[in-house]
Amino acid sequence: MCTWNSGAEIDLGPVKQRAVLAVLLLNANQPVPVATIVDAVWGDEPPGNGPNVVQKHVSGLRRALEPDRQARLPSQLLTLTEAGYAIRVEAGALDVDAFRAQVEQAYQARAAGAMPYAVETLRAALSQWRGTALAGLSGSFFEVERERLTELRMSAIEESVEMELRLGRHVQLVPQLQALVAEYPSRERLRGLLMSALHQSGRVTDSLAVYKDARDQLVDELGIEPGADLRRLHQQIASSPAQSPISPASPMAAQAMAVAAPAPPAPPSGLSWTNRLLSLWLPLVPFLSVGLLAWIPAAYGAARLRSRVHGAIAAVYMLLTGVVLVFSTQGASGLSDFVFSMLFLIGWMGGTAHAVYLRAKLLRLRKSLADPLVAMARQRRHRREGALELLRREPSLARDLRIGRPDLPRQYDDGGLIDVNGVPEHVLTTALGLTIEQARGIVLERERVGGFASVGELAKSGLLQQSELRTLRDVLIVVR
């Protein structure tokens, strides 16, 4: 985080002092309680004299930000009120505000049909980003804010790329999109944009390979299929001639489909040798038991993977074990000897091979669960579920915690929920990827009817298509 004065970078002091400033700037022109600052900066390890430490850092910031102010004169920039400390920031002085203004200008230009100017404006806005947002600041508060700012940037990148695709720049965009997909492999919208760019460049096979890679990753790591938009795009490309224009995944689906990461984390380093050795029991059980216990690893794999297919295979192995035991005790001759041998080999060799396959699949699953991207997606889902349960049981408390209001300062992380009855127009465009017309229509309609009674009314009123609403249903809520 950097602060500038007349072109010169200001020394903001130690890390904790910069963190205090970041909390104040993220809530610019609003008082922030001292307890909120302490919780955001120090988290679970607050100093014993928190208010005094905050006051010390605020004094340091005043000296750094107002070097010419006399010591006895009150600060005009960083003030103390009954509600807490507040920093005064002029409109457009923060980089993120300037970025949002340019993005809004670009969207207005797009709505007016000036697509080249819209792309140029978005590119100019994106060029303002210098490294990772809130770099050097740690803690859950800054992680959430970093994730929100990163999502703002990625949404603008995806909008810019989609506009350039419409301008026919698909060949030039392929290398950029390939790099973005490698950096953010879990963003399905980027995959869709790359598929469209490759398809319009005449590289149909490569385009379909992008979908296969995305599907393999989702199925192997999460056990789910790609989203409806990406599947639909795949079907269109598979059945269309090369270079025919096909729209990529809907921008309204971006937030619901993406697993936004604060920064591209390093991939998991792999599983420990201990885990790999312990998992050797899976193929050893059917091999050493000559197939009689092949049903054990099959049943274990079915339970871990929640797979009915592997459960059915486990049942087949149990049946084979029973048949083999009956044959071995009663004896058999002729054709029955051959049948006995075949059943014995199926249980032994087939069970061992199946266990080897299950072991590899379970190791991939365990490795994926250690991936920071996957962990973040699971964490966001759990937070949303907890926030929704709180909203159902304690609506007044949910309002106090500002669930669904990312535009307001708050301490409760709801996993990215959006209250369509409360958020302003710019949140609907930046956080959900709606067009300016859609966001404006939602705001006007809710003012006219006094607030929506349910999310479904957005479709009934014609404000969103049913397909768009289904995509966003996980993040949209109504707070009354």
pLDDT tens string 412-426: 778 888 998 888 887
pLDDT tens string 98-137: 888 899 999 888 888 888 899 999 999 998 887 788 888 8
Three-class secondary structure of residue 404 per DSSP: coil
d(CA 311, CA 300): 9
Rounded mean pLDDT of 65-69?
A: 79
pLDDT band of 268, cuts 50, 70, 90:
very low
Rounded mean pLDDT of 342-364?
A: 83
pTM listed for this prediction: 0.51
Do domains 4-87 and 131-257 share one topology? The answer is no
d(CA 161, CA 356): 43
Please provide the average confidence, as pLDDT, over all residues in the chain: 80
Q: What are phi and psi of 4, to 5 degrees?
A: -125, 150
Dihedral sign computed on CA atoms, order 466, 471, 472, 478: positive
Tell me the sheet residues that pair with 81: 84
Rounded mean pLDDT of 66-78?
A: 77
pLDDT band of 191, cuts 50, 70, 90:
very high
Rounded mean pLDDT of 337-352?
A: 81
pLDDT band of 252, cuts 50, 70, 90:
very low
Rounded mean pLDDT of 258-286?
A: 56
Asked if the model's pLDDT at residue 224 lies above 50, the reply is yes
Asked if the model's pLDDT at residue 374 lies above 70, the reply is no
pLDDT band of 53, cuts 50, 70, 90:
very high
Rounded mean pLDDT of 233-258?
A: 57
Closest residue by Cα to residue 162 from 253, 261, 256, 262: 253
**Worst-scoring range by mean pLDDT, 79-83, 145-149, 317-321, 377-381?**
377-381
Rounded mean pLDDT of 151-160?
A: 89
The superfamily CATH assigns to domain 131-257 is Tetratricopeptide repeat domain (1.25.40.10)
pLDDT score recorded for residue 193:
93
Residue by residue, DSSP assigns 326-391 as: HHHHH---THHHHHHHHHHHIIIIIHHHHHHHHHHHHHHHHHHHTSHHHHHHHHHHHHHHHHHHHH
pLDDT score recorded for residue 4:
47
pLDDT score recorded for residue 369:
54
Phi-psi region of 131 (alpha: psi -120 to 50; beta: other; left: phi over 0): left
Rounded mean pLDDT of 400-419?
A: 81
pLDDT score recorded for residue 161:
92
d(CA 444, CA 199): 39
Three-class secondary structure of residue 4 per DSSP: strand
d(CA 98, CA 128): 9
Asked if the model's pLDDT at residue 253 lies above 70, the reply is no
pLDDT score recorded for residue 322:
84
pLDDT score recorded for residue 330:
65
CA atoms within 13 A on the CB side of 87: 20
Rounded mean pLDDT of 256-260?
A: 33
Q: Which CATH class is domain 4-87?
A: mainly alpha
pLDDT score recorded for residue 377:
61
pLDDT score recorded for residue 254:
38
pLDDT band of 201, cuts 50, 70, 90:
confident
Listed by start position, the domains of the chain span: 4-87, 131-257, 273-369, 377-477
pLDDT band of 251, cuts 50, 70, 90:
very low
Longest dimension (CA), the chain: 108
Closest residue by Cα to residue 410 from 90, 79, 22, 40: 40
pLDDT score recorded for residue 334:
46
